[in-house]
Chain A
Amino acid sequence: MISIDFTLNGRPCRIDVPAHWTALDLLRDGLALNGTKYGCGEGVCGTCTVLLDGEPVRSCLVLAARLRGRAVLTVEGLDRDGEPDRLQAAFARAGAVQCGFCTPGMLLSARALLASNPSPSEQDVREALAGNLCRCTGYTKIVHAVLAAAGGP
């Protein structure tokens, strides 16, 4: 077992996990945070995307050991006191959800985009979400939701 001290959704967290666990194993099986999904397991589908020090990463590819000392943001950390954040609200308003399996990864990739580029073009949004697959193919409303969140209050 290895001991991991890190910041999870703004709060200090400490957990012991087997050395071969990924960050996704740690979140889902170590902490029962099941918002982050296991999709392809090889970094292609994007539904396991979380932010590591603000940058989007595939939690299925990152060893849990790499979280040590760093800040992780998952979909569970987006809301403000139970109220949806700007992106979550925009996704809900735009109907940018079908089965919902890709939504956590979409939200986090979009959040990383808006943090570095508060007024993205549609092309910027599409490039930022290029690694997040929606098998319901509901991309148009997802892109609209991100643009709406960027333009919103």
Chain B
Amino acid sequence: MRLHPFALSEPETVPEAVEVLARFDGEARVIAGGTALVPTMRLGLVRPDRLVSLHRVPALSGIRVDGDALDIGAMTSLAALSRHDAVRARWPLLGQAALRVATPAIRSTATLGGNLCYAEAASDPAPALLCLEAQVRVAGPSGERAVPLAGFFTGFYETAVAPGEILTAVRVPAAPAGAGSGYMRFCPRSAEDKPLVGVAALLVLDAAKRVAEVRIALGGAAPTPIRARRAESALGGEPLTDAAISAAAEAAAAEADPLSDLMGSAAYRREMIRVWVRRLLLSLR
């Protein structure tokens, strides 16, 4: 089955891409890897008259370590991200989460920028990047702006990227010294599915084994990926006892606002959030 006929623009710079989007305002849609957009078009859910493919913009590709931070071009594939030496050594949480997305032939094509702009509530990279307090850069007709990822997801499949804008890069600051981290996901059906729920956490324990810093983020737990701030508060300053971990898991389940769909009901998701937050925290103790 063929895709519907559309025109294709292949800009070679970010300003050119922004200009094309402005010129075809309302008709054009950005395509990165296409692993989400192409199936959506095949299902007939979207039918853009023109695609603006970013695959020929060199400025959008590549991973660069910039001092203590990591700069990831939006068109970087999840496969390239997960096998990058600096990512594996210094941002293992991000590499791990990227490696859990779908299957090898999807990760080779799917991009980090595309994953974030698609704004799937059960994204694997998003909870990891929320824990790492990443920022994204967005280019538009009036220049570039930075958006903290915490404010990027604005609703169900919606982001802060305005019409005519393009996400250009993701900047990930260094993780706190001595931090442990992990990502776990639960797939009730098959391992290559998007998860029912995904849980990322980053944890720093002090010399007395009390929680000095903790960040917990959830996928599939709300209309967007979220930080679980109440679960974090339940742990701060405390030793990681079984009771503290259970309390944090209860808090995460309580603050989640999950949706019901074919994969699972809201009540089931809430229960799985409790289970998997607990399992992840136990593994980091």
| B-binding residues in A (CB < 8 A) | 2, 18-22, 25, 38, 41-44, 46, 49, 52, 55-58, 60-63, 65-66, 109, 112, 127-128, 130-131
Contacts and interface: CB of A to CB of B under 8 A. Distances in A.
B178 interface: no
Contacts of A62: 34, 109
A61 B102 contact: no
Contacts of A49: 105
A60 B191 CA distance: 21
Contact of A42 (B42, B53, B192): B42
B2 interface: yes
Given A20-B4, A62-B34, A56 B53 contact: no
A43 B39 contact: yes
Contacts of A65: 8, 10, 53, 55
Given A2-B8, A22-B38, A55-B79, A61 B109 contact: yes
Nearest to B83: A116
A124 B77 CA distance: 21
B61 interface: no
Contacts of B39: 41-43, 61
B53 A46 contact: no
B31 interface: yes
B146 to A, nearest CB: 29
A62 B8 CA distance: 13
B143 interface: no
A60 B108 contact: no
B125 to A, nearest CB: 18
Interface string B91-135: 000000000001111101100000000000000000000000000
B59 interface: no
B34 A25 contact: no
Nearest to A64: B8
Contact of A130 (B2, B38, B55, B191): B191
A22 B3 contact: yes
B7 interface: yes
**10 nearest CB pairs, A to B:** A131-B103, A42-B39, A19-B8, A56-B105, A55-B108, A61-B38, A20-B3, A130-B103, A20-B6, A20-B5
Contact of B53 (A18, A57, A66, A112): A66
Contact of B104 (A18, A25, A109): A109
Given A56-B108, A130-B103, A61 B34 contact: yes
B159 interface: no
Interface string B63-81: 0000000000000000100
B192 A130 contact: yes
B106 A58 contact: yes
A43 B38 contact: yes
Given A43-B39, A57-B108, A130-B192, A63 B8 contact: yes
A128 B104 contact: yes
Contacts of A18: 5
A117 B192 CA distance: 21
B29 to A, nearest CB: 13
Nearest to A25: B2
Interface string B158-191: 0000000000000000000000000000000001
A52 B53 CA distance: 17
